[in-house]
Amino acid sequence: MKIVIAGASGLIGQALAAVLRERGDQVLRLVRRPAAAADEIQWDPAAGKIDGGRLAGCDAIVNLAGENIAGGRWTARRRERIFRSRVEATRTLVQAIGVMARRPAVLVNASAVGFYGDRGDERLPETSAIGHGFLPEVTLAWETHAEGAKRFGVRTVLARFGVVLATEGGALAKMLPAFRFGLGGPLGNGRQWMSWIALEDAVAALVGAIDRAEWAGAVNVVAPVPVTNADFTRALGAALRRPAFLPVPAFALRLLFGQGLADEALLGSTRAEPRVLTAAGFRFRHPDLAGALAAILGRKH
C-alpha cells in the first residue's frame, strides 16, 4: 500500500512508519520544510497548502499532526496554537482528498480521550457523550473536520489515544528521570483514572484502522485495564525498583503548569474503555500495566 503520514516525525509517527515499511508498504511523510528526500511531501497546513500531485494514488492517509498539549502553560496563545495546529492540518488534508481523482480508502485521524473530559469513575466507551473543557472543545473540532472526509466516500477512523507509553518520548520518558532517582509520586490525590496504552499496541491499532474496512468512527486507543494515577505510580516505581511515594500536591501542579493544563491533563480523570478494539478481536500485546512497563523498560516481569 501507499500510505501518507502527517506527523511522521513524532513518537507514534516514527514507530508506525517503521512497521509499515517493514511489512512492505510505501510510506510518504508530510514535512513543512522543502522536501529533501523521495519519501517526503511538502505542505503548509497553516496556509492550507499541500503538494496534491504527490498524494495521487495513495491508499491511506494517517494524520497524527498537532501541537504538544503538554508543551507549556496553556496561555491564550498556546491554546490557540494547540487548537489551530489540529484543525488546520485536518482541514488541509480533507480538502486535498476532496479534489483527488482517486481518493484514499481511509483517513485515520488522531484524536484523544480528552474528548470525554474529567469524568471521575465513569466508564467511557466510544459512545459516551463529550465532556466539558478545553480538551473536549479541541477534540470535537478536530474530529468534526476529519469527518468531512466521509462526504467524499472515504472511510474515517478517529483514533482517540490515551497516554502512549514508550521510553523514546511522551509522558513516560518525562517521568523516568524523577522516578529513577526515587523522587516519583502520585499527582494530587492520585485517584484520577489514567487511560494508557503501550506504543506497540497503539501502532498495531493504527495498522488495524488502515487495514480493516469495518472499522470506522471513534476508536479508543487505550489498554483494556485503565489504572488510577496512584496505581500507575506504584507500578512504575516497582518496575524501576525505586520508591515512589512523594506526592505532588494539586496546588503545586497548578503553580508549575497553570490551572488549565494541571486540572485537565494531569488531575483530570478519564476512564476510557477500548470497546471497539475488544469487539473487533484486537489482540493487545501488553494488556496490563505491570507487564507493559516490564517490556518497555526491558525488565523481567
Q: Which amino acid is at 5?
A: I
What 3 state SS string does 40-71 have?
Answer: EEEEEHHHCEECHHHHCCCCEEEECCCCCCCC
Q: Can you point out the beta strands (E) in 122-186?
A: 123-124, 155-161, 163-165
The model's confidence at residue 300, banded by pLDDT at 50, 70 and 90, is: very low
Taking only the tens place, the pLDDT of each residue in 267-287 is 999 999 999 999 999 999 999
Q: What is the reported pLDDT for 149?
A: 97
3-state secondary structure of 26: strand
Helix, strand, coil: what percent of the chain each, to 5?
45, 20, 40
Q: Residue 54: exposed, middle, or buried by beta-carbon count in 10 A (0-12, 13-18, 19+)?
A: middle
Residue 301 scores a pLDDT above 70: no
* Average pLDDT, integer, range 113-121: 97
What pLDDT shows up at residue 210? 98
- The residue that leads in pLDDT, 97 or 300, is 97
Answer whether residue 133 shows pLDDT above 60: yes
pLDDT band for 70, please (50, 70, 90 cuts).
Answer: confident
DSSP 111: E
Q: What is the pLDDT of residue 235?
A: 97
- The percentage of the chain sitting over the pLDDT mark of 70, rounded to a whole number, equals 99
Closest CA to 60 of 276, 220, 208, 219: 208
Burial state string for 65-89 with b = 16 or more CB within 10 A and e = fewer than 16: bbbebeeeebeeebbebbbbbbbbb
Task: Answer whether residue 15 shows pLDDT above 90.
Answer: yes
Q: What is the mean pLDDT of the chain?
A: 95
Confidence bin at 299 (pLDDT 50/70/90): low
Please report the pLDDT score of residue 191 as a whole number. Answer: 97
Residue 33 predicted with pLDDT over 70? yes
Structural domains for the chain:
2-297 (3.40.50.720)
Q: Record the cell numbers describing residue 301, joined without a space.
A: 516481569
State pLDDT tens for residues 211-245: 999 999 999 999 999 999 999 999 999 999 999 98
Answer for the pair 162, 222: CB distance below 8 angstroms, yes or no. yes
